[in-house]
Structure 1
């Protein structure tokens, strides 16, 4: 299983085994990662699963689709590495992915 490291806004870090085929958001919810609210349940209809993808991983992920980019307009403190974790599918290639949660969700 690929490992994903979640860093919160206070600097606390947790590394979790993620199931291939799930999303980063589903992995966070199953493991009670603070800072991922996921109010819409992964339907890309809110921005409460917003994360910052570590710079080393941005180019390794597929580009966000237009719907995700539109929803990021509602996220708190959007940055170049901002993504909705519900839109990042876990694959073996993501072993070692590092994401951080914002101080608050939009």
Structure 2
């Protein structure tokens, strides 16, 4: 086997591994965001007339600020203050970016 074939194979394997890692990261983020779906709707789009806001298109800084306020108890809620405690700071940042990137409607 030539050196060129070995290098090409190695490059293809590295590319495949990088794509698989990206896919796994994306799937993990989507699964994390799905934990919000029961109340905030699928893909962050709340049911029309719902008392809870949709998350799709919400500015990341606002999302993060609100989640931290729920987590600390500074913002009262029926259940969000309890749910927010289950997310790490990194997860809150990931969710903020995910929902901010989604179109509102």
**Between Structure 1 and Structure 2, whose CA radius of gyration is higher?**
2
Q: TM-score, normalised by structure 1?
A: 0.26
The structure that is strand-richer by fraction is 1
Higher relative contact order (CA 8 A, sep 6+): 1
Q: TM-score, normalised by structure 2?
A: 0.27
